[in-house]
Homo-oligomer: A and B are copies of this chain.
Amino acid sequence: MFTNTLYFDIPSTPKTEELWNKISAEYKSNAVGYYDLPINGEKLLLDIGTWGAGLRNIKNIVVIGVGGSSLGTKALYSMLFCEKKSDMPNLYFLENIDPVSIKKTLQNIKLDESIFLLISKSGTTLDTISIAKIVMVHFDIFPHDKYFSRRFAVITDNGSALNKFANEYGLKSFFIPKNVGGRFSVLSAAGIVPLTLCGIDTIKLLEGAAECRSNFFGRKLDTLFKKALAYTVKSGQNINILFSYSDIFRDFNAWFVQLWAESLGKKRGEERIGLTPVGLIGAIDQHSFLQLVMEGPKDKSVTFIRVENMADDMQIPDISLKYIEKVNLKRGVSAAALLNEQAVATMKSVVNEGVITDEIVLTTADAYHAGYLIYYFELLTSLCGLLLEINTYNQPGVEIGKRILLNKLGK
């Protein structure tokens, strides 16, 4: 079960109806393609199955991609790692043109046990292509080589430069639908291909997302409207914190940060609009950022995420250490219970300070709930974008730096 409890109240206003009409219109326009990804996965899964059936002795799937081409996959892989069967391939990411981390990652990988997935929606992401070239030289394998198409595949837009490259050399191409933006693409081929190849239950993942979709468009998710309204009122909080209780959410936080910052930071005419995302991990960041939430400016909202039944739970031993008896716990408290109770206690203290707070509880962190969670945050982002009256799906601000760079280093 997925529950989201709000510890603030926003009455149903005419704005709610207006917002519903807007998102319905956006959905029907077909301009934004992510809405239907959860119900359109069948063909893709068949395609992966057919292609994957030809792979033998693969121990590593290596994603070469950045931003929307890696963050979502990484988020789900980390969250669902406990569910992965040990005989399925491991997933690696080459996402930064950082020689130290590239070298470290390549040390773990043998060519003949690996599949490299070149992922770029546009097909011409500088870092991604540069890393791919480094990989080719490292393993001494090039597009003209006989075995190149057995080791490399691409995930991109149909007709992109990368797709043409793949066609030229006989590589398999998977496609990201044209109307699906990079940061909304994790439930398309961009995420589903690597995750399926690693043994993540992507059928359940899509089912969870489909359930969220059907609840939302069946008007059963009023919480999303209330949250979007609360976050976008002018006098309100413009820093939105995700306080996720478990290390398995570290990469999910990073995915959320991209989704939120890149979607909702936009110029609207002369005006600069934007909500600032912050990802925290509980209980660790109780010893860090929490002080600022408790006593700093009231410009923040906090969403707590926790998992009721965690994998690999263990008891906290009921032993007493001399002189440190002060922190003895009742008999039978498990690590997961302590983590959950830390979340609840911290949440209470934050609510007491009058901070806009809500709590998401997943029964378990399995593929189904992960799919639900992903889609839930995508919907929330779309709703906020509509309320802010900006284009949620583009990213014009990042082009300038790219031009400056290519002017200097490009051929």
In the complex, which residues of chain B have a beta carbon less than 8 angstroms from the beta carbon of A358? none
Tell me the smallest distance from the CB of A3 to a CB of chain B, in Å. Answer: 21
In the complex, which residues of chain B have a beta carbon less than 8 angstroms from the beta carbon of A267? 295
**Which of A292, A338, A349 is most buried by chain B, counting CB atoms within 10 A of its CB?**
A292
A334 interfacial by beta-carbon distance below 8 Å: yes
| B-binding segment of A28-36, A160-168, A184-192, A194-202 | A160-168
Contact A409 B330 (CB under 8 A): yes
Contact B284 A67 (CB under 8 A): yes
Alpha-carbon separation in the docked complex, A100 to B96 (Å) = 27
A283 interfacial by beta-carbon distance below 8 Å: yes
CB-nearest residue of chain B to A408? B341
Alpha-carbon separation in the docked complex, A258 to B292 (Å) = 10
A363 interfacial by beta-carbon distance below 8 Å: no
Q: Interface readout for A338-375 with B: 1 if CB under 8 Å, 0 if not? A: 11011001101100100000000000000000000000
| B-binding segment of A4-12, A13-21, A47-55, A316-324 | A316-324
Q: List the number of copies, as a whole number.
A: 2
A405 interfacial by beta-carbon distance below 8 Å: yes
- Tell me the residues in window 239-284 of chain A with beta carbons closer than 8 Å to chain B beta carbons: 239, 245-248, 254, 257-258, 261-262, 264-267, 272-274, 276-278, 281, 283-284
A328 interfacial by beta-carbon distance below 8 Å: yes
Contact B67 A330 (CB under 8 A): no
A233 interfacial by beta-carbon distance below 8 Å: no
Q: Identify A134's interface contact among B162, B254, B290, B317, CB under 8 A.
A: B317
- Tell me the residues in window 282-314 of chain A with beta carbons closer than 8 Å to chain B beta carbons: 283-300, 310-314
CB-nearest residue of chain B to A320? B411
- Interface contacts beyond A67-B287, A161-B324: sample of 7 additional A-B pairs, CB < 8 Å, sorted by A: A127-B338, A132-B321, A165-B322, A266-B296, A341-B405, A341-B408, A345-B402
A-B contact pairs, 17 of them (CB 8 A): A96-B284, A97-B339, A97-B342, A99-B310, A99-B311, A100-B311, A102-B335, A103-B314, A129-B327, A161-B323, A265-B293, A266-B295, A272-B296, A276-B300, A329-B410, A342-B401, A349-B401
Q: Which 9 A-B pairs have the closest CB atoms?
A: A274-B296, A67-B287, A265-B292, A294-B397, A265-B296, A258-B288, A345-B404, A261-B292, A345-B405
